[in-house]
Amino acid sequence: MRTVEHFIGGNAAGGGSRQHDIWDPNIGEVQAKVSLGSRDELQKAVDAALAAQPAWAATNPQKRARIMFNYKALVESNMDELAALLSSEHGKVIADARGDVQRGLDVIEFACGIPHALKGEFTQGAGPGIDVYSMRQPLGIVAGITPFNFPAMIPMWMFGVAIACGNAFILKPSERDPSVPVRLAELMKESGLPDGILQVVHGDKQMVDAILDHDDIKAVSFVGSSDIAHYVYQRGTENGKRVQAMGGAKNHGIVMPDADLDQVVNDLAGAAFGSAGERCMALPVVVPVGTETADRLREKLIPAIDALRVGVSTDGEAHYGPVVTAEHKAKVEQWIQTGVDEGAELVLDGRGFKLQGHEKGFFIGPSLFDHVKPGMESYREEIFGPVLQMVRADNFEEALSLASNHQYGNGVAIFTRNGHAAREFASRVEVGMVGINVPIPVPVAYHSFGGWKRSAFGDTNQHGMEGVKFWTKVKTVTQRWPDGGGDGSNAFVIPTMG
């Protein structure tokens, strides 16, 4: 059986006696194993990074950008292989897997412009004969801990900018689908990146704690559940690291009475059920404003959801595939039962779905709840599956407060033809990313990604210029070139700029 090993110092590296199963979620069988490392494997990666990073940091930004250009071309030429590998371990359909890779490549494209992004500031004549300038320098060795749901996109969001800025990067991907992250690192070596600058170590909590505790790792980026994000942020910052930790979400879609409901239904079908709902930017809560809007929306939603095709990840006609593991399937189905127990109306029940010929696969049919109330636990918590909940609001202010008062503040969308309502909503809602007639408002790569409240811990967002800021430190230089002949009488006085 195939074993996925660590990628350390530019080569596959074994280590650690423990292993984790890699499942094929389409058939419910183990297809491979991944080696789980410990502090020993991490130390080998750190040693390789320490040896390689100074020369990489000294490489001029234009040469680093050229490697990013090479990498972009290599990933594009290997897109089919990467998408197939990703689908086989995650379960998302091929088209969705290609999108996973492409959204990561968008950030690699941004990183190709790193010479411009790293430019500092300069003031000539800040004082008599004095100039002041700033520069952005790499932190050194940094790390990323990434989730199962985007095994290509999120690693590239992190290491693309970090490496372009001159850092050495150690990636700890999810043990559920680790093959694509390793392949991405191999392609980076093929693009010309020196050994030791991008490495992959596998593991569970042992490896996470080793990363958070290691003195030579200066910054950590994390994406996962909110409880673990909070833990990573606390432990990392207590150890003096710079940390950004992105957590869970419960994104709302506000549907105003004037919205185009046919378009809303089409958007909701993809945003709520695409990738089996395993997205932090999914839209699992719809909030129609007014009884008439809610009733009309429900009438249109039921046949549209019924028409969704659930299939194996290689089925080109399928809208979504299986969830990632049997444990996650059971968890999602338990949340559906919780919603029923709490008194919500289960309009469509996806539990018990079986795909002919793949009865052992981890499939869940699409589910729809109506009359969900804000006090319900199933509303407060993230389900992370193909479940859409309808929470009815009487008016705009109530809809606004639902999104603003939720413990998560990752993304939100409003559907309306009214520009004033959209502008008011975008200005006032207490959520980090807002879509106006856009169901999944993931910003383009040259802007930044980040939520509020329990959706994000730390002060800096991912990718874009926020990413450049996170992966670098600022040094400011005040210089004076004297004409000569000074007697040094003012050597102990702080120079003023007046």
Active site residues: 280
Residue labelled with tokens 């696969």: 361
Reading the block at residue 350, the tokens are: 């996806």
Q: Exposure of 9 by Cβ count < 10 A (0-12 exposed, 13-18 middle, 19+ buried)?
A: middle
φ, ψ (nearest 5 deg) of residue 324: -75, -35
Task: Determine how many CB atoms are found less than 10 A away from the CB of residue 54.
Answer: 12
The contacts of residue 160 (CB under 8 Å, 6+ apart) are: 68, 104, 107, 108, 110, 111, 463
**Closest listed residue to residue 365, CA positions, set 310, 323, 316:** 310
DSSP letter string, 16-74: -SEEEEEEETTTTEEEEEEEE--HHHHHHHHHHHHHHHHHHHHS-HHHHHHHHHHHHHH
On whether the CB atoms of residues 441 and 411 are closer than 8 A, the answer is yes
DSSP letter string, 279-332: -TT---EEEEBSHHHHHHHHHHHHHHHHTPPB--TT-TT-SB---S-HHHHHHH
The pairing of strands 122-127 and 130-138 is antiparallel
DSSP letter string, 164-194: HTT-EEEEE--TTS-HHHHHHHHHHHHTTPP
What radius of gyration, in Å, describes the C-alpha atoms of the chain? Answer: 25
- Give the C-alpha separation, 314 to 94, whole Å: 6
- Give the C-alpha separation, 295 to 349, whole Å: 19
Give the distance from CA 464 to its chain's centroid.
13
